[in-house]
Structure 1
């Protein structure tokens, strides 16, 4: 049952991350908020591991692999995305940029872990990438009537974040195929914290306006995203092809865009709608079982 429901639950949970980032940026510096998020996630994961009797890595080498993967999967990836949103990249567009990850992962997987894709899967990934490009380029280039152009630097940082999570996904697949997912997740957030604290000290004033909104955003970020969604992602990576797991990210843009429209009034343009439909078709081809 979990194997069937996990992809849908993961996509639903993960898509809320862009809305939370946009919402939290109103009351707190993005990287500072992530430091709080990772700290709480580490504490709760350690408590969860102790209560459930989770097995910690038997060697420092495996623990190091978990920490390094967390630096990329969480620290550099979320740090880039949240900083870009804080610098003005719309939450819906940032979610669409996330669609670069599946293609990056599929291309890199062929060289890093010798993962081979069928012709159908290659077609699906290319189709998904084309849909994402159609959705995001008009907004970045301000082609839409009345659109506000986005500065290129935050967009580039957002794209680099996709490169970080791509490498982290492959690193996870290569070095962490065994071990307890619960303790691995705890160590990964330690790696994320190691990366994020220096960046927050260098780039931000460590500002947080404490109110109910911040507390709720922090609670959802930790429980819904850092614990729930990431546990599902690690489960999916371990169970199947890394390219298939990554291709689920193609389904995030339409959900993130709709949520950004509902909560922040961000525009849903025709290229975004058509592009995400094409991307969804690409996911279907990538994950569809062949006879």
Structure 2
């Protein structure tokens, strides 16, 4: 694993976890308005930078980036933020989201040619056990059952986005990708918040703290690292690293909100780490290689007239 990919992987774990903490902050000041202004601010920053860099994106790639943004940001974030607003603990939301590796690993072999080894499958299982231990005490919360179902749908949406992104073989600059997806999400949320009367931002300082947190740490940091790992690593690797987000989220919540961190969380953290070490081992690609081009046939020598008017050769 290259140094850049290692740094991006570490950033993915830490900064992706910040999104669940940001959802907790947003729930206190209005999650729809917070998400709306998160992407308004992000777009106002990204669009001028992207234009100044003169990054060109083919039309066909724009459509692909819109699909990635729809599943990876609009649907995924709506489900997570709504569930946390309805009482699902941030650690539990992170747990359900981290089940994505099982979905991606099951699909990647058929669609992407990424085949997991036996050790990697053991790592995936260890990761699942680890995240279950970390948030076991959260599963008895007071949130309605449908809220947990929404988190599951969000996880499936993120898995879909990951598969679409990994199948794109024509490289689009990461900045352009993030800009297109952020603008799409901003437009969707502006319309939704305007219709529901939640467009106007709050003058409360905590509101802008939540917006700044989500823009800098979650959008630019977490989602940027995620896209980098998907592009330069593998879909399974990026998804597997998300296994570390539930225990990391628990650490964030303990430091910021004083949430209890029990012995199950510590055991789960160690188990997750072991699972990720195994599951992020190099993945073999078994794509069917195109048939070798046939060797050019040697032209048969043209018959040369012989002295007696016949031909030499067979």
Q: TM-score, normalised by structure 1?
A: 0.88
Deviations 1:82-101 (A, max 9, x none): 11111111122222222211
Contact 1:19 1:259 in 2 (8 A): yes
What residue is the counterpart of 1:225 in the other structure? 218
Q: Secondary structure at the match of 1:25?
A: helix
Summarize the Cα distance change of 1:202–1:157 in structure 2 as closer, same or farther, 3 Å threshold.
farther
What residue is the counterpart of 2:138 in the other structure? 139
Find the aligned partners of 2:153 and 2:198 in 1 and give their Cα distance: 23
Structure 1 gap segments, 5+ residues each = 143-147
What residue is the counterpart of 2:88 in the other structure? 89
In proportion to residue count, which structure has more helix? 1
Summarize the Cα distance change of 1:210–1:111 in structure 2 as closer, same or farther, 3 Å threshold.
farther
Deviations 1:155-204 (A, max 9, x none): 11112111111100111111264121111111112332354445546777
The alignment status of 1:170 with 2:172, answered yes or no, reads no
What residue is the counterpart of 2:34 in the other structure? 33
Q: Residues 90-109 of structure 1 correspond to what in structure 2 (within 5 A)?
A: 90-109=89-108
Find the aligned partners of 2:240 and 2:228 in 1 and give their Cα distance: 15
Find the aligned partners of 1:122 and 1:217 in 2 and give their Cα distance: 37
Pairwise CA RMSD of aligned residues?
Answer: 2.3
What residue is the counterpart of 1:145 in the other structure? none
Summarize the Cα distance change of 1:70–1:228 in structure 2 as closer, same or farther, 3 Å threshold.
same
Q: How many residues were matched structurally?
A: 282
Find the aligned partners of 2:197 and 2:86 in 1 and give their Cα distance: 12
User: Which has the higher Rg, Structure 1 or Structure 2?
Assistant: 2
Q: Residues 35-74 of structure 1 correspond to what in structure 2 (within 5 A)?
A: 35-51=36-52, 53-58=53-58, 60-74=59-73
Contact 1:67 1:191 in 2 (8 A): yes
Find the aligned partners of 2:72 and 2:239 in 1 and give their Cα distance: 12
